[in-house]
Structure 1
Amino acid sequence: MKTFMNEHNQMMRLTEAIENIDQIGGGTRTGNALSSMKTLFKMAYRDNVPQILIVITDGKSEDGVNQTARDLRQQGINIYAIGIKDAVQQELEEIAGTKNKMFFVNDFDSLKHIKLQVKSVILTYSFFFFLYFLVCKNVRADIVFLVDSSNSIRPAEFQKIKDFMQSFVIKVDVGLDNVRIGLIQFSSEIREEFQLDRYSTIADVRRAIQEIQQIKLGTLTGKALTFAASYFDPPRGGRPELKQYLIVITDGEAQDSVKNPARAIRDKGITIYAINFKASREELEEITEDQERLFFVQSYDALENIHENLTQIVCEKSQPGKDDF
């Protein structure tokens, strides 16, 4: 393996270095190659600079890629996968984490036809990365995730919910003086994962999110909302003098009433957003009181498409002098 991270900071020298690399030959151990990227990206890390990995492959990997790719994404690395000819599309999706970040061509000559498309996607991501940095920098707010952990959610789908929360967290200015993050799971029972003043770094919050274990029982959303109300109080690390948000993620209709518990939360000045897969619009409007605060997604993969929008909304509304919509 030959790498150039941090070695070439001029276009001409980088182009020359790429021209001079020699093909290794041998098999296709994509998982092993992905694993080696972890250390390289850590060494090259710079504050407020996006980290992007483009994987180009023409065949099925001889080792697993799912976990190593997920580890990289959890590290904050945005992965794009380009498959050629005999590449396996499911494997490309496992690498990229979503179909929106994978490309496929039938032969090597066709790579030139997707060059502008790939460039456009990456430039768009980089633009929004810096936009989030500018909008979210120095924002002060309390954000609690209230996550449905019922048995109607399959393990792979629950992982996508965790990926969504991790993607959200990496774009805000996490810190005890800035954005505090809390997390509660609910099913037929409620599990307090961590309160608002538990973690002070993005890395710690993301690790804690990844370690949560699904409950897999019923869906008592009303009970969970009642429990969540006190999570924003000072004894739990809350700062009522700042903007406070509850983000509810659920995949089904509640088995109890949500109207009064949600109203009690809103009466404390807390803004509620709801992300839904199957629940009724009427029920979710009872939770948020405003359809503009609802996000309906058709699949768990589509979560990738809304975290950027939700992050920007929360950061903008948390700026001093801004009112909630």
Structure 2
Amino acid sequence: MKPFIAVLLSCLSFIHLVDISDCYNVIYPSQILAQSYAQRRNYANPSNTRIPLRTLNPAATDSHCRSRPLDLVFIIDSSRSVRPGEFEKVKVFLSDMVDTLDIGADATRVAVVNYASTVKIEFLLKDHLKKQNMKQAISVIEPLAAGTMTGLAIKKAMEEAFTEQSGARPKSQNIAKVAIIVTDGRPQDQVEEVSAAARASGIEIYAVGVDRADMRSLKLMASNPLEDHVFYVETYGVIEKLTSKFRETLCGRNTGWGLLLV
């Protein structure tokens, strides 16, 4: 009789443990290399159960889809905190993103704004209308070193990179305007007002922070809803995993989108 009771109690304990584990999404940080800010927030709050996990799919980044034409400006942080090897990974990410897009005069046009203490427009929307030329231009970009003037970079992109003189299409064509900034730190200038002005001008912003990025600043820069526009990756080593996420966004939507990587 005693062995029977022991077996019964063991079975009941096993069933109880299964029920408990089924009530929670158990997330191990080592298994999630890149995740949205909303996921990071929910993971920190054990009261949030059954949160749908939006992990970034590490699928091949050279898959191609037909996307709606965009005027897309990458704004990349090359301050001192971004090590040379990390900056190279950012450039690989940009190149992979270009591979997923339809590039051309009547398709997506791309510009790159490089910033630290100063801001440098590496090339304009009108400069490269073929993928190979664009990827070559990305490959030779050099870091600028000191400072993190993110607000200044957003302002220069809005006032100079997104103009018709620089290759942006007129509003009458209804081409979505996109900004992408990459940074791992805290801006040394104000970003709230200039970001609001950029959004008001029609630029949708996705904010992606890396490593030590200041989450409050990301939220000030990003478009609403924040859970869809703020992302975080733990290191530059996994930033390329964002490519498939934004490829899905491009292929799955008929409206404009934007990305701000900071």
Aligned partner of 2:203 in structure 1 is 270
Is 1:297 equivalent to 2:233 in the alignment? yes
1:295 CA displacement = 1.7
Does the Cα contact within 8 Å between 2:62 and 2:99 map onto a contact in 1? no
Q: Which runs of 5+ in 1 are unaligned?
A: 1-98, 100-123
Give the equivalent residue in structure 1 for 2:137. Answer: 208
Paired residues for 1:161-176 under 5 Å: 161-176=90-105
Distance 2:83 2:59 in 1: 29
| 1-structure distance, mates of 2:257, 2:78 | 28
Contact 1:129 1:171 in 2 (8 A): yes
The 1:192–1:129 alpha-carbon spacing in structure 2 relative to 1, beyond 3 Å, is closer
The answer on whether the counterparts of 2:207 and 2:231 sit within 8 Å (CA) in structure 1 is yes
The one-letter amino acid paired with 1:261 is V
What is the root-mean-square deviation in Å for CA atoms of aligned residues?
2.0
> Bigger relative contact order, structure 1 or 2, given CA contacts below 8 A and separation 6+?
2
Offset of residue 312 of structure 1: 2.5
Q: 1:224 aligns with which of 138, 153, 159?
A: 153
1:187 to 116, 119, 123: 116
Q: Percentage identity across aligned positions? A: 29
Q: Aligned residues, how many?
A: 195
Q: 1:316 to 1:198 in 2, by over 3 A?
A: farther
Match among 237, 245, 249 for residue 309 of structure 1 = 245
**Deviations for 1:108-163, whole angstroms, at most 9, x for unmatched residues?**
xxxxxxxxxxxxxxxx946x755x42x43xx2111100000101111000000000
Q: Which residue is equivalent to 2:71? A: 142
Please tell me whether the aligned partners of residues 248 and 272 of structure 1 are also in contact (alpha carbons under 8 angstroms): no
For 1:158 and 1:234, how far apart are their aligned partners in 2?
29
Aligned to 2:166: 236
How far the C-alpha of 1:250 sits from its partner, in A, is 0.7
Give the structure-2-normalised TM-score. 0.70
* Structure 2 letter corresponding to 1:302: V
Q: 1:167 to 1:324 in 2, by over 3 A?
A: closer
CA distance in 1: counterparts of 2:207 and 2:120, whole angstroms: 19
Tell me by how many angstroms 1:308 deviates.
1.1
Query: Residues of 1 paired with 2:215 and 2:250: CA distance?
Result: 22
Q: 2:214 aligns with which of 277, 280, 284?
A: 280
User: Shift of the alpha carbon at 1:282?
Assistant: 1.4
8 Å contact kept, 1:246–1:271: yes
Q: What is the TM-score normalised by the length of structure 1?
A: 0.57
The answer on whether the counterparts of 2:93 and 2:243 sit within 8 Å (CA) in structure 1 is: yes
Structure 2 unaligned regions, length at least 5: 1-32, 34-57
* Mapping of residues 80-159 of structure 1, within 5 Å: 125=59, 130=63, 132-133=64-65, 135-136=66-67, 139-159=68-88
- Residues of 1 paired with 2:153 and 2:246: CA distance? 22
